[in-house]
Amino acid sequence: MNFAVDSSYLPSTILGNQPEAIKAAYKKDLNTYKGKFLLDSLVVSAESFAKAHAYSTLPFNGSKEIRAYAETEFENVCKNDRSAVVEAIKTGKTRAEAVAPYITDEYFDAWFTEVCNQIKILSATK
């Protein structure tokens, strides 16, 4: 708890993430704007987390590699498709004409099938 508050991180336990516990563990100067603002931020964050429904994915064999692949794949497909659209517009196509090949069900289905195949391969190697 002390480490969490001293380093301005929220505690990682439910009990430690209570506003009263955060206030009790907070040792910084409350007479400064920075100190008061930091405490207020931690308390508001804890209250927000208490009201929210958080979730996380369960780890599984290959989950690290699959998450890394998915992150890279999503970023790359967006970057590459955008570049192609920009180039098409430079050659005189309208925006609608330039994006048309990338907004079809067929394009999405082909991309999604490839992603699923890659994930199957990654999960089979673990």
pLDDT digits (tens, 9 = 90+) for 50-106: 787 777 778 888 888 999 999 999 999 999 999 999 999 999 999 999 999 999 999
pLDDT digits (tens, 9 = 90+) for 31-45: 888 888 888 988 898
Exposed, middle or buried, 20 (CB in 10 Å: 0-12/13-18/19+)?
A: exposed
Alpha carbon 61 to chain centroid, angstroms? 21
pTM surpassing 0.85?
no
For residue 112, what pLDDT band results from cuts at 50, 70 and 90? Answer: very high
Exposed, middle or buried, 42 (CB in 10 Å: 0-12/13-18/19+)?
A: buried
Q: Which amino acid is at 107?
A: Y
Q: Which residues, including other chains, have CB under 8 Å from residue 12's CB and lie 6 or more apart?
A: 4
